[in-house]
């Protein structure tokens, strides 16, 4: 969801940085903003503690970050995402597998008007291991009763790509402006490009 369908990752990154500033006075460097996307908030808080000698409580950082997200977040879809989902809705089953918790996911999807377009939603609240572990993708595949080999997973972050591949699925990296190096055999396309490819399907 975050960074793939919804332009929400920036809210998470900005809110994490604000939480760290509030609690320690440390200002994240630009490269640390990018690094944030590769791990959970509590884990990254510990990384910053060790790296900069901070005394952040990871759980307190998470709670403060959530407060900032709640105060600033607006559900905005990437261009072409809604049209793509609507084009395929009812033709193939769609599942959402996200590292975000349910208390954020459902309101965000409902605000964006896309909750009804998914046959199932699996969140971090339901798994022991987040991406890049394949657990959340595997549970979603089970709920959809889908064959991994016949499943296409759309992801924007490397941890999501790794999780999908580990679950045995095919992957498309969605180009939403991020600058990451994906495996050479992974297609890299925007929602507008994916929608255009769908026109003759």
CATH of domain 81-198: 3.40.50.1000
Phi, psi of 28 (to 5 degrees): -60, 140
Give, rounded to a whole angstrom, the gap between the first and last alpha carbons of the chain. Answer: 24
In whole numbers, what is the pLDDT of the chain averaged over residues?
Answer: 94
In this prediction, residue 114 carries a pLDDT of 97
> Structure pTM?
0.83
Tell me the average pLDDT across 84-103: 95
| Residue linked to tokens 């791990």 | 39
- Give the residue extent of every domain in the chain: 9-72, 81-198
Give mean pLDDT, residues 140-151. 97
**Which of 2.60.120, 1.10.150, 3.30.360, 1.10.940 would CATH assign to domain 9-72?**
1.10.150
Tens-place pLDDT, residues 43-78: 999 999 999 999 999 999 999 988 998 898 899 999
Strand partners, 97: 122
């Amino acid at each position: 969801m975050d960074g793939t369908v919804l332009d929400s990752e920036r809210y998470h990154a900005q809110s994490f940085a604000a939480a760290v500033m509030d609690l320690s006075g440390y200002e994240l460097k630009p490269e640390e903003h990018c690094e944030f996307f590769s791990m959970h908030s509590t884990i990254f808080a510990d990384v910053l503690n060790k790296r900069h000698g901070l005394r952040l409580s990871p759980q307190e950082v998470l709670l403060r970050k959530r407060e900032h997200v709640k105060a600033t977040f607006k559900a905005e879809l990437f261009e072409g995402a809604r049209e793509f989902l609507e084009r395929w809705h009812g033709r193939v089953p769609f599942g959402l597998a996200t590292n975000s918790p349910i208390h954020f996911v459902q309101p965000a999807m409902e605000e964006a008007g896309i909750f009804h377009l998914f046959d199932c939603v699996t969140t971090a609240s339901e798994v022991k291991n987040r991406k890049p572990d394949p657990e959340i993708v595997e549970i979603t595949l089970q709920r959809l009763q889908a064959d991994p080999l016949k499943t296409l997973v759309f992801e924007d972050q490397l941890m999501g790509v790794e999780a999908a591949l580990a679950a045995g699925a095919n992957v498309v990296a969605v180009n939403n402006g991020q600058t990451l190096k994906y495996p050479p055999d992974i297609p890299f396309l925007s929602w507008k490009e994916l929608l255009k490819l769908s026109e003759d399907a």
